[in-house]
Copies of this chain bind each other. A is one copy, B any other.
Amino acid sequence: MARAKTLKSDISIEAVLEAALELFSSQGYGATSMRQIAEKAGVSVGNIYHHFKNKELIFQRLLDRYWEIVLDPELKLNRIFSKAEFPDDLEDLADAIEEVVNNHSRKILLIYVDVIEFRGAHIRKFYETMAVRFEAQYGKNLAKRKKKGELTGGDPLVGVMLAVRWFFYFFTVEKSFGVPMHFGMDNRQAIDEFIRIMRYGVLPRGNDGRQPDKLHG
């Protein structure tokens, strides 16, 4: 099959996916009709079914695209991961995550749609394998730094994951929940505070007489 046909298909498929992304992320999955998608994409309902077997496969495809993006080694965020310089990379992590959230906020909303309407069926694997992915990227280097006394506490991998997950969530609330400055300050300031807390904690250093490895109370 030659190029013109492929091109026509690709254009229609892309229009359908784009329309569906906009509608699913602003109405939910079940409340979005195929007619709405068709109208928004500028194609017929029959044509959608020519390219996609059913509605759920459209949804699945959109989420798969998001996983492709966030797992792409060329993504700025993943390049920071591969350098494994935590906690020195916290500022860079925050910036890169803000960029991902700003560029892909609608796809991120699909995660919540999935949680509600599919009980997380299409996102489970990504979250279940999260710890393993971070271990693969940061494990070696963190172990080395811990051994050299450059990091303290328990498993430093938790620090990485906490920071990353938190930044994703924070920027999503700011952008998609419609509550900018929900910490009572602008993003930059809030991120600086988070980073400080993650690096140094909230308890003073030096003459506080408390041991870092002793749990309180």
Report A20 CB to chain B, min CB distance, Å. Answer: 14
Which of A88, A179, A203 is packed against the most chain B CB atoms within 10 Å? Answer: A203
Partner of A161, one of B27, B183, B200: B183
Measured between beta carbons, the chain B residues less than 8 angstroms from A212 are 196, 200, 204-205
Q: A173-B127, A194-B158 are in contact. Are A117 and B153 (CB under 8 A)?
A: no
- Alpha-carbon separation in the docked complex, A173 to B127 (Å): 9
Interface hits, A95-133 → B, CB 8 Å = 109, 112-113, 115-117, 119-121, 123-124, 127-128, 130-132
Mark the stretch among A46-54, A58-66, A144-152 that contacts chain B: A144-152
Contact A158 B204 (CB under 8 A): no
Question: Is A190 among interface residues, defined by CB-CB distance under 8 A?
Answer: yes
Report A134 CB to chain B, min CB distance, Å. Answer: 8
Contact A199 B202 (CB under 8 A): yes
Mark the stretch among A5-13, A28-36, A37-45, A71-79 that contacts chain B: A28-36
Question: Is A216 among interface residues, defined by CB-CB distance under 8 A?
Answer: yes
The chain B residue with its CB closest to the CB of A130 is: B182
Measured between beta carbons, the chain B residues less than 8 angstroms from A166 are 162, 166, 169
- Alpha-carbon separation in the docked complex, A178 to B29 (Å): 19
Which of A112, A113, A135, A201 is packed against the most chain B CB atoms within 10 Å? Answer: A201
The chain B residue with its CB closest to the CB of A193 is: B158
Contact A154 B116 (CB under 8 A): no
The chain B residue with its CB closest to the CB of A166 is: B166
Measured between beta carbons, the chain B residues less than 8 angstroms from A157 are 184
The chain B residue with its CB closest to the CB of A203 is: B199
Partner of A196, one of B86, B154, B217: B154
Partner of A27, one of B117, B199, B217: B117
What 0/1 readout, one digit per residue, does chain A (150-187) give for beta carbons within 8 Å of chain B? 11111111110110011001100100111100111100
13 A-B contact pairs sorted by A residue (CB < 8 Å): A27-B30, A30-B32, A87-B203, A115-B177, A119-B178, A120-B176, A127-B177, A151-B204, A158-B183, A158-B194, A195-B215, A200-B201, A205-B205
